[in-house]
Amino acid sequence: MGSGLVQLGAPPAPTERPIPDGPMADGFGRRVEYLRISVTDKCNLRCVYCMPEEGLPWLRREEILSYEEIERIVREMGEMGLRRVRITGGEPLVRRDLPALVRRLRRIPAIEDISLSTNAVLLAGHADDLRRAGIDRLNVSLDSLRPERIDAISRRPGSAARIFAGLEAAERVGFAPIKLNCVVMRGRNEDEVEDFARITLERPWHVRFIEVMPTGDNLPVSDGEYVPAGEVLDRIRAIGELRPVRGPMGNGPATYFAFPGAVGTVGVITPMSHNYCDRCNRMRLTANGQLRPCLFGDLQTDLRGPLRRGEPISPLVKRTLRIKPERHHLVRGSAAGSGGLRALSEVGG
């Protein structure tokens, strides 16, 4: 844009801010103790709000960090104050022998909590191994309770039965808490919000409704089918009283509620209607070794090159903390704030 106008939703140029000595914190005083690690950009589903149906240009094998490289990064960041990691993707269970990575991360004394985000399609066959390897907690994406809708949203017919088997296996091997992530879309699943919420009366599940976020490839869905979390909560309040409660664990972006006497909770994640960046505690590591201070925007630091040359990464981690932006700049109907991202599968969501 040569006119001097600011592009709608475009993030401002990065500025470096001084960061405190001591455990990792950014230039706005936010303690950063949590890393989301994407282990692959590939996925066995094609959720309509995430990945284009034809897929994306995949990373080449040699571009992807090995488990040993991921361990080295987490170990060094652990010495700087990292305490929790989440394994994500793409779909993390499509990467071979994921429990081997979990075992490596478990050996790092600084890491107190290891969780996994999955679509659960392959979970039934891996739940036991993952639990034994040391995964503490699971987030499962589930956008509908109706098989035909799961097929339509995921664009991979037949996945529903596998996902339900995966959830059953997760409960059987003792994962707790289990969080369900549901991206709410008008005309696709917004009429199931009450059914999802009712599950929390009987099962110790934490159902989180997520507002769909715009990326380069999803504007028709993220704009045309957007449902604000306030509307979701109104629907749920119409079937029962909701009280604000503390979340199941960790200081995530969700705000939680519960029905009186319920064993689970209902949460909303509101990236579009209510910005929660002031409590952001995380950074992201992409499958090809880029450390991102924010989910959105184009800021990232290459760790892979220096790591493969045997250089320390702590100065690069500090640099990334110094440029961590105050907030995201997403605007509904525009891809500008997503900073060139085509899909959240590229960075792990």
115, amino acid identity: S
Q: Rounded to the nearest whole angstrom, what is the least distance from the CB of residue 240 to ligand SAM in the complex?
A: 25
- Residue 338 touching ligand SAM (CB under 6 A): no
**Residues in contact with ligand SAM, shown as a per-residue x/- string from 201 to 240 under the rule CB under 6 A:** ---------x-xx-x--x---x------------------
Coil, helix or strand for 173?
coil
- Residue 91 touching ligand SAM (CB under 6 A): yes
Nearer to ligand SAM, 76 or 225 (CB): 225
Closest CA to 286 of 277, 294, 274: 294
Q: Kindly report the backbone phi and psi dihedral angles of residue 302, in degrees, each rounded to the nearest multiple of 5, phi listed first.
A: -75, 120
Q: Out of ligand SF4, ligand SAM, none, which partner does residue 290 contact, by CB within 5 to 8 A per kind?
A: none
Q: Out of ligand SAM, ligand SF4, none, which partner does residue 51 contact, by CB within 5 to 8 A per kind?
A: ligand SF4
CA 137/CA 33 separation, integer angstroms: 17
Nearer to ligand SAM, 270 or 307 (CB): 270
Closest CA to 180 of 118, 115, 231, 129: 118
Q: Which residues of the shown chain bind ligand SF4 in the complex (CB under 6 A)?
A: 43, 45-47, 50-51, 89-91, 119, 141, 345
Position of minimal CB gap to ligand SAM: 349
Quote the DSSP letter at residue 48: T
230, amino acid identity: G
CA 265/CA 197 separation, integer angstroms: 8
In the window 96-135, what residues touch ligand SAM (CB under 6 A)?
117-119
Are 290 and 303 contacting, i.e. CB atoms less than 8 angstroms apart?
A: yes
Q: Out of ligand SF4, ligand SAM, none, which partner does residue 33 contact, by CB within 5 to 8 A per kind?
A: none
Nearer to ligand SAM, 181 or 189 (CB): 181
Beta-carbon count within 10 A of 315 CB = 11
Q: Rounded to the nearest whole angstrom, what is the least distance from the CB of residue 90 to ligand SF4 in the complex?
A: 5
CA 123/CA 98 separation, integer angstroms: 11
For residue 177, say if its preceding peptide bond is cis, omega within 30 degrees of 0.
yes
Catalog residues that contact ligand SAM under the rule CB under 6 A: 43, 49-50, 88-89, 91, 117-119, 141, 181, 183, 210, 212-213, 215, 218, 222, 344-345, 348-349
